[in-house]
Structure 1
Amino acid sequence: MRFPRRRRDPVEVNLTPLIDVVFLLLIFFMVSTTFETRQALELTLPESVSGTAAEPSPVTLVVTAEGGYRLGGRDLAAAALPAALAAEADQAREHGLVVEADARARHADVVRALDQAAAQGIRQVRIATTQGGAGDTSTQDAETP
């Protein structure tokens, strides 16, 4: 008696579940990864020979070469500076304010920032500089009247 042979289906590897898992892992890592949100500003700080090493301060006001301001990661216009400094005034009074002014910034823009700090009662103001060509950041202490 002759038995019919069963036809075997060809063996296949289904790649669809593998692709689904890879895409899920990709989405998981994209969502869970933290990215650096601080935007680096190209500042050229003025040089100082008599500056001391900079201490970190939670309140840093950046004056750009174009006359703009940056406080707490937000770009500010000159008109918005008083309100933004008022929001950070308590911390600045306690820990001090560091002003990082670009070497090409206009003197009037820096004076405007110092004037607004004085209006908020911030008395301890440090101006960031670079150490005489070495590139290290240092500060000069200044008392606002």
Structure 2
Amino acid sequence: MRFPRRRRDPVEVNLTPLIDVVFLLLIFFMVSTTFETRQALELELPESASGQPMEAAPVTLVVTAAGEYRLGERVHTAGTLGDALAAEAEQAREHGLVVEADGRAAHADVVRVLDRAAGLEIRHVRIATEAVATPQAETP
């Protein structure tokens, strides 16, 4: 006796759920990754032997060697520094202001920042430095 064979459907691998999971992982990692905002700005911070490590403050003002001021992503001159700092004054009063001055920056540029901060009643001003590099002991 001859039995009829059942016709089998071809086996297919459904890739749709796999693609969905890959896109969800991609979105998760894109959202949860922190991005460095100042990658192209090269500063030579002065060294300090007695500096204390601190958490990053939300208001950071950078003084470059060329005498420019950077607050966030915007570049300011001495004339526009006061208005830009006034816009961030409330947050700076609450959390503090960090001044990242290049070691080659003019002293007058740093004093200008400190003067404007005092005029806006920002009392917690910290100056960013690098830790002093200790020489490595040579092992024989």
Q: Please state which band the TM-score falls in when normalised by the shorter chain.
A: 0.5 to 0.7
Q: Distance in 1 between matches of 2:107 and 2:123?
A: 20
**Gapped runs of 5+ residues in structure 2?**
1-29, 135-140
Give the secondary structure class of the aligned counterpart of 2:128.
strand
Deviation string, structure 1 residues 44-84 (Cα, Å, up to 9, x no partner) = 00000000002110000000001100001111111000000
Paired residue for 1:99?
A: 99
Paired residue for 1:114?
A: 114
How many residues get paired? Answer: 102
TM superposition score normalised by structure 2: 0.68
Deviation of 1:38 (Å): 4.3
Q: Distance in 2 between matches of 1:44 and 1:37?
A: 17
Identity among equivalent positions (%) equals 68
Amino acid at match of 1:130: E
Deviation of 1:40 (Å): 2.6
Amino acid at match of 1:110: V
Amino acid at match of 1:104: R
Give the secondary structure class of the aligned counterpart of 1:111.
helix
Map 1:1-145 to 2 at 5 A.
38-133=38-133
Higher strand share: 1
TM superposition score normalised by structure 1: 0.66
CA-based RMSD of the aligned residues comes to 1.8
Extract structure 1 runs of 4+ deviating beyond 3 A.
33-39
**Gapped runs of 5+ residues in structure 1?**
1-32, 135-145
Amino acid at match of 2:123: R
Deviation of 1:39 (Å): 4.7
Paired residue for 2:22?
A: none
